């Protein structure tokens, strides 16, 4: 800042390295914007810490419950699930169908040397 002969103060321009003249008002506006950004970041960080603490508590509860259920399963073995009670991909009629023992599937092998179209034709016939 520089004073004039009348005693009033005039704001001198600040020249950053390699930059243009910047007034004090522009610097103050930039600082205010940065302070607002820092304040918003602190609020987000505080919220993130609160979320993290809640997740840690939930994780510990789940870990404790899992250990307790594991101790119960070691001490008390559950009865095995009957074979028919398990979900099946096919209906019971299909599962009960018997296959003839004389049926042999196709015995065509493909080594990669012969023609692929000829192989597919032989396989599908």
Q: What is the mean pLDDT of residues 68-84?
A: 65
Task: Return the structure tokens found at 116.
Answer: 């692929």
Kindly give, in sequence order, each residue whose CB lies less than 8 Å from that of residue 99, ignoring residues fewer than 6 positions away.
none
> Per-residue pLDDT tens for 13-44?
555 565 567 788 999 999 999 999 999 999 99
pTM score above 0.75: no
The residue with greater pLDDT, 123 or 109, is 109
Q: Residues for the chain: how many in total?
A: 125
Q: Above pLDDT 90, what percent of the chain?
A: 26
Q: Where are the alpha helices (DSSP H) in 16-103?
A: 24-75, 92-96
- Number of H helices and number of E strands within the chain? 3, 2
* pLDDT band of 8, cuts 50, 70, 90: very low
The domains of the chain are located at: 30-75
What pLDDT does residue 84 have?
60
Would you call 85 helix, strand, or coil by DSSP? helix
């Amino acid at each position: 800042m520089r004073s004039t002969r009348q005693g009033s103060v005039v704001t001198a321009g600040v020249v950053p390295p390699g930059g243009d003249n910047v007034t004090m008002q522009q610097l103050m506006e930039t600082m205010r914007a940065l302070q607002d950004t820092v304040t918003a970041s602190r609020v987000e960080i505080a919220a993130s810490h609160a979320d993290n603490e809640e997740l840690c508590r939930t994780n510990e509860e789940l870990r404790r419950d899992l250990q307790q259920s594991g101790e119960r399963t070691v001490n008390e073995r559950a009865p095995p699930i009957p074979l028919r009670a398990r979900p099946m991909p096919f209906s019971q009629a299909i599962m009960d169908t018997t296959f003839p023992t004389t049926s042999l599937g196709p015995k065509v092998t493909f080594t990669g040397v012969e023609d692929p179209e000829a192989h597919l034709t032989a396989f599908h016939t």
